[in-house]
Structure formats: structure tokens, C-alpha cells
Structure 1
Amino acid sequence: MSEEQARLKTGLIHVKTGNGPGKTTSAFGLALRAAGRGLKV
């Protein structure tokens, strides 16, 4: 298994914090990009 495959299999967690707008938009954008590449979201 290549390093890239191992990294994708492990998964990632993104934490968006702070005051003000942008957190939800950023999370949806990240999810759409991942889904577009065929990753599990």
C-alpha cells in the first residue's frame, strides 16, 4: 500500500472554530471537494 493510500484510508478530522462567518461554508466546500474526488464524506 502506498503512502497516499494509507493516508486516505486513515482519514482526517478538521476542526473549524472561532467567531464570525465562514465555518459552515468552509466545511461544506471541503465536503463537496472530497465527494467530488470519490472519497467517503
Structure 2
Amino acid sequence: MFFYKNIFSAKSRLTIFHLTDYFLIMYFMTSFFGNFACFTKNESCK
């Protein structure tokens, strides 16, 4: 039972890290593509 609980906690921690990594990647990709579209339109970017 103790072994199972250890695996479960490790797995939940891993999923939390994966979710944070996913959101960070999505944030950076959206900001990068937003700046890219802004540069292609020749508009002033913030």
C-alpha cells in the first residue's frame, strides 16, 4: 500500500509538471507568433 501511494504521488507530481510545461510552451508560442504576425504586417509592436 505504501509503495502504491508513493507511485501515485510521483505520477500526480509528474502530471502537474507536464501541465505547467504545456502552458508555458503555449504561452511562448502564442507570444512568438503574435510578434511574427505583427512584424509581417509592419505594425508597431509593444
> TM-score, length-normalised on structure 1?
0.47
Structure label with greater radius of gyration? 2
Relative contact order higher in (CA < 8 Å, ≥ 6 apart):
1
> TM-score, length-normalised on structure 2?
0.43
More helix by percentage? 2
